[in-house]
Structure 1
Amino acid sequence: MADELRLVLLGGFRSGKSNVAHSFLNVKCESDQMTTQCVKMEGNINGRKIILVDTPGWWKCDELCDTTERLKAELVRSTSICPPGPHVFLLVIEVDFDFSEKHRKVAEGHMQFISEDAWDQTIIVFTKLKHLDDKTIEQYVEREGENLNKLTQKCGNRYIGFDTDLDRNGSQAKELFRQIEKLVAENNGRFFKADARRLMDLEIKIKNVEEKATARAHQVLEKRRKLEEIKSDAEAEHDVTPLNIVLLGWVLSGKTLACSVILGADISFDKTVKCVRRCGEVNGRQVTVVDTPSFWKFLPYQLNADSVNIEILKAMDSSPDAILLVIPADTSFLEEQMEVILENIRPLGEKVWRQTMVLFTWGGSLGNKPIEYHIESEGDALVRLVEMCGNRYHVFESMSMSMRDDHTQVNQLLEKIEEMIMECALLESNDEHQGKNKKSQERETPSEWLRVEDVKKLLNEEWERSDAMMKEMLKTMSPQRFVRRGESLDVPLNLSGEVINTELFINKRKLKDALEREWNRREAIDNARIQYKLKCLDASAEMSSCADEEDIKMSCAKVNDWHQRQHLSDYGSVSSYEEHDKTEQDRD
């Protein structure tokens, strides 16, 4: 048997991976920051040297294609930083949500992205066991049904429960170590050997991305230096003139929260159904930010509610000095997102790109990688979008309430906006930007099409229904209640059209996949809301045994206040819940 045990931790975001790592090795965690890149840790158990690699978590509802290229690279790299390779993969899954077919496919997709052979060396580690109440982990697996059983079977039915809050005497850590040793013995000490060619290709790709990112950063700095040189005294007066900004973006991009960060105002999670004009003073300058209703991320322009398209056009009536196109940095950016953005921007006219800058939100997910690395690693679609905006972009590394006291990232944004205004004034009248040619539409039968107006109605009704269900669930939750999720939105099969017209109808086959992906991030948000509420309820329960009546009232008021602010529909971001109170978060 090997004298050294090498382990790799895998799992979804906020599954408790980092807690498992530190508890298993009995190592104190020095930071509560989320894991954004592979972290190599070492320890000693029963005289055996342990090397453990913690990895960034994937979104539990997002398909592999919606995972950033950065995260995919870290998953592959995890097998190479504990040479010659890991003996065991620990797949971490929390038990406080209903494990659906979607979650199974997401877990399988990310595991198989590493290698199909990884299953023979995988143990599932279930976390957050307090939600099981008096049930055993075996009863939980049996109760969850077919999807979880399929996953455990892929791992040879190897699984264990591990809760760092419940493992007071270290018995769970000992049992996990025993199962790891058993699996290594069954495999005769065999370790996972990564594909050398794949690792070499990854190394070359990373180096290429880093070089392009450095070149882009230098290009932007040189451009800004030249603009600074030609800035006259008269132009400098713009620094004190009122500034009018319009925010555009798809659902759950963090657009409304970005508005609050810019103005240093209280965070609002209300649904933006009409343009919201908010004013404030930033460094002595009057700044107005117009927040607009969001468009869909995966669905075409024609499926926006009519009010969304009308309100976005109304926002342009204010003659904005700058348009910020809000893109979250914690998700992939594919060609389909580029097409959706182009469709939604097109009614504003080609010249709008001269006034547009990309504002990346949730830059904290980048870790120590610069935003240029994210742009280049995501590939051609995002690169083209940034270049259509004249290579103008900015990143909000944090979106938390504490950032209201640190104006650095906002001040830098306003400097870039001022430079964009100057650049726009210097541009020639001809427009060099060209829209992407529309792809020809394949001929299909009428039964394959759905009436756009019917789908639009369905989308808005379903989104409002989800809001109502979540609000009711939050009202009736208790610390002992096990969280169950509802079914995903499906495509009604009785909607059809008689005449094929791509302006009035949408293809049914393509719609189902788009709807599923559109709702994935919404499901992640709902889970985050539930988990936060449970923590608040747990804290209140603990206080009830020792706190006085006034303290209990204050705690309950805090929970109620949180619930009111969390009444969010399609215009927040999943990360807004996770950064609302850092002290309440798991480390990954």
Structure 2
Amino acid sequence: MAYLLPYLLTPFSCHLSEIRVVLLGARGSGKSSAGNTILGQGGSFEVRRRTVQWMVGAGDVAGRQVTVTLSPVSLCSPGPHALLLMVRVDRSFTGTNRRAVQEHLELITDAVWAHIIVLFNFGDWLGDTTIEQHIESEGEALQWLVEKCGNRYHVLNNRSNSGFQLRIMLLSGRNTGRSSAGNTILGREHFKVGCHATDCVEGQGKVRGETVTVLDPPGWLSVGPGSLMSPSASGVTVVLVVVNVSSSFSHTVWRTAEKHLEALGEKVWNITMVLFPLGTGWGT
């Protein structure tokens, strides 16, 4: 669930101690499995049981109380903070599926689309295919759905042993402490400090027993924004802009940073944080 928090927290809900989530989807879409993955050890939904009425689960996720409701169509009371629409990536999303989704969701309200995140389930089925490639290959019906939901989507791998599926991208110019910050996050020396790489370097580590992936691309003064749109950048859930507090952050630097961030999509600002490393050994 922690990897979905940047998508769920609006400016009005970011200080809430409780988050209410409703999972919507057809029979067999994996709502129960997804609910258990979101709640982690607190998940107790019975997989393979048909959802004919509300089923509610709750647990502590990343320090917040999260309530997950599995619902055939209608919504829980009080109203949810987020609606997750389940779509299986191992099954074709046809025009018939599109019409069914539209008819069911618009029974709730015409404005429902502004509050939905498409949650692609069984993400392990994709293999080396990115979710963007999958959406493109599926055709008009799935593309319509994703666009209707404001291009808000996430991929869920229920076969992972962990509900914490976090991919972090570090962005900055040179000599900001980016690589050192990556090593600190992973808890080990993986990225070479002082080495100006020309390709994105990826590392994984355990953080509180969970697997976290850190992406360290070349500095934004070395490459153009288009270099960030590589397959390795797929599924990034947090972007950390690393800023050297000992150097001036000029308008030119800001414009360069803005171009690189916007290359990741218009929604990137919702998942971006500024990281100010401490210390004198800045490295890369």
Please give the TM-score of this superposition, normalised by the length of structure 1.
0.26
Q: Deviations over 1:54-81 (max 9, x none)?
A: xxxxxxxxxxxxxxxxxxxxxxxxxxxx
2:161 aligns with one of 398, 402, 412: 402
Structure 2 matches for 1:404-483, cutoff 5 A?
A: 404=163, 406-408=164-166
Residues 274, 367 of structure 1: alpha-carbon distance in 2 compared, 3 angstrom cutoff: same
Question: Of residues 116, 127, 148 in structure 2, which corresponds to 1:367?
Answer: 127
Please give the alpha-carbon distance, in whole angstroms, between the structure 2 residues aligned to 1:286 and 1:413. Answer: 24
- Flag the 1:414–1:240 CA change in 2: closer, same or farther, 3 A: farther
Are the structure 2 counterparts of residues 279 and 327 from structure 1 closer, same or farther at C-alpha, using a change threshold of 3 Å? same
Change in Cα spacing, 1:407 to 1:378, as seen in structure 2 (3 Å) is: closer
- The structure that has the greater radius of gyration is 1
Q: Are the counterparts in 1 of residues 87 and 119 from structure 2 also a CA contact under 8 Å? A: yes
Q: Deviations over 1:20-74 (max 9, x none)?
A: xxxxxxxxxxxxxxxxxxxxxxxxxxxxxxxxxxxxxxxxxxxxxxxxxxxxxxx
Residue of structure 1 aligned with 2:77, choices 307, 312, 317:
317
1:268 aligns with 2:50: no
Report the Cα distance in structure 1 between the residues aligned to 2:123 and 2:15, rounded to whole angstroms. Answer: 26
Deviation at 1:349, TM superposition (A): 1.1
1:249 paired with 2:28, answer: no
* CA distance in 2: counterparts of 1:286 and 1:415, whole angstroms: 21
Q: Deviations over 1:260-307 (max 9, x none)?
A: 0000124522332211121111110111111113xxxxxxxxxxxxxx
Q: Would you say the 8 A contact 2:17–2:65 is kept in 1?
A: yes
The answer to which structure has the higher helix fraction is: 1
Residue 403 of structure 1 deviates from its aligned partner by: 2.4
State how far apart, in whole Å, the 1-side matches of 2:91 and 2:29 are: 10
Contiguous gaps of at least 5 residues in structure 1: 1-223, 294-311, 424-588
C-alpha separation in 1, matches of 2:81 and 2:238: 13
Structural RMSD (CA): 3.5
Check if 1:288 corresponds to 2:67: yes
The code of the aligned residue for 1:403 comes to: S
Secondary structure of residue in 2 paired with 1:325: strand
Partner of 1:393: 153
Pairing partner for 1:277 from 50, 53, 56: 56
- Secondary structure of 2:120's aligned partner: strand
C-alpha distance 366-254 of structure 1, shift in aligned 2 (>3 A)? same
Give how far 1:318 is off: 2.5
* Structure 1 residues 413 and 373: alpha-carbon distance in aligned structure 2, compared to 1, 3 A threshold: closer
Instruction: Structure 2: state its 5+ residue gaps.
Output: 1-5, 168-209, 213-234, 240-265, 271-284
Contact kept? 2:44, 2:57, Cα under 8 Å: no
Instruction: Report how far residue 237 of structure 1 moved.
Output: 7.2
How many residues are aligned here? 169
Partners of 2:70 and 2:13 lie apart in 1 by: 26
Q: Which amino acid aligns with 1:278?
A: G
Separation of aligned partners in 1, 2:137 and 2:112: 26
Q: What percent of counterpart residues are identical?
A: 35
Q: Deviations over 1:334-385 (max 9, x none)?
A: 1111011111111111111111010000111111111111111101110110
How far apart, CA to CA, are the structure 2 residues paired with 1:244 and 1:358? 16
Change (3 A) 1:237 1:289: closer
* Cα 1:250/1:413, change in 2 over 3 Å: farther
